[in-house]
Amino acid sequence: GAPLLGLGLVFGLGLGLGLGLANIDSLSLSAVEDMDAVKFGSSIAMKIMAFQGEISAVATALLAAYASYASIQRWRTATFLHIVNVSLNFLEPDPKNEGQEMLFFRTLLERPLPDVVLSKQGQSVLSKCAESTASGQPLLPLTESDAGRLKILTINQLSSLFATGWLNKALGLPVVVRTFVFAWCNEVDPRKTMRMTKLRLMLVEVEALRRVREMALQGQRAAPEFPQAELRFDTMVSIAAAHFQDPKLMGGFRLEPYWAPTVDFALPQT
């Protein structure tokens, strides 16, 4: 009986040990499989994250490129209709071509529109008219009543630039008085060669404007000082057409005489 009992105990212990080892092996295998699954999942996640990173980098690069392009385009064709540029335009002998003339222009004043036109109604009129100009017709299409009010305002502003001359004249000091034509313009260039679009108040001495008219009627042009301002001579022609009421130079547009009135400047004589 005792030997059989011993064998039974040994057999039982062996069977239990075997089952235990088998269970341990099963657990170990499961753990290994779980670890492999974790590693695989981690690998996939890392690849997805890397791919997302690449997409993000590409998107960032594309956005940066677009922003740069948009910035360049804004610089090339920038529009600042809230800025008033007052310029003096004049003809001089072309230094590069003997016997020919060149169109020069210089800024006399550049200010925000509200600093030049105090009335909000006046600002609104100018802004709306500026949006109504077209290629070949740069003069602001003001109504006669608006043009009359704006003329007084403009002369007051321009006179402040040359106050010394009138003061000298009042004191009996020698001065030179010249008549200038002025016009509010917004140049529209279909060739996009002009760098900036601003609300422009252009001044040109009446005799110089007469010369522009003569050149245009003869099919001649004055080269601009700056190549990107090729359109400026055409603008001078439009101002001449309005001031002298010459239909031959109006390009099919109706240009009113009150769009190009005059103002006298007194300049100290040295």
Q: How many domains does the structure of the chain reveal?
A: 2
Same domain (yes/no): 112, 199: yes
pLDDT at 103: 97
Regarding whether 159 and 88 lie in a shared domain, the answer is: yes
Please check whether residues 86 and 58 belong to one and the same domain.
Answer: no
Q: Report the pLDDT value the prediction gives residue 169, as an integer from 0 to 100.
A: 94
Q: For residues 45 and 107, state if they share a domain.
A: no
Q: Are residues 117 and 60 in the same domain?
A: no
- Assess whether 69 and 99 both reside in one domain: no
Q: What is the pLDDT of residue 60?
A: 84
List the domain range (segments joined by +) for residue 89: 79-268
Averaged pLDDT, groups of 10, the chain, 270 residues long: 42 43 45 52 66 77 73 58 93 90 95 92 94 93 97 92 92 96 92 71 98 97 90 96 98 97 92
Last residue in a domain, options 23, 55, 76: 76
Based on the fold, state whether residues 141 and 97 are members of the same structural domain.
yes
Q: Do 229 and 219 touch, CB atoms closer than 8 A? A: no
**Distances in whole angstroms, Cα of residue 214 to Cα of each of 26, 88, 218, 244:** 106, 20, 6, 11
29, 139: one domain = no
Rounded (to 5) percent helix, strand, coil in the chain:
55, 25, 20
Predicted confidence at residue 48, as pLDDT, reads 67
**Residues 178, 150 share a domain:** yes
Q: According to the model, what pLDDT value does residue 97 have?
A: 86
Ramachandran quadrant class, 60 (left: phi over 0; alpha: psi -120 to 50; beta: rest): alpha
Within this chain, do residues 251 and 235 fall inside the same structural domain, yes or no?
Answer: yes
Q: Which helix (H) or strand (E) holds 7?
A: helix 2-76
- Phi first, then psi, for residue 181 (nearest 5°) are -95, 140
The pLDDT assigned to 99 comes to 85
Q: Length of the chain in residues, anyone?
A: 270
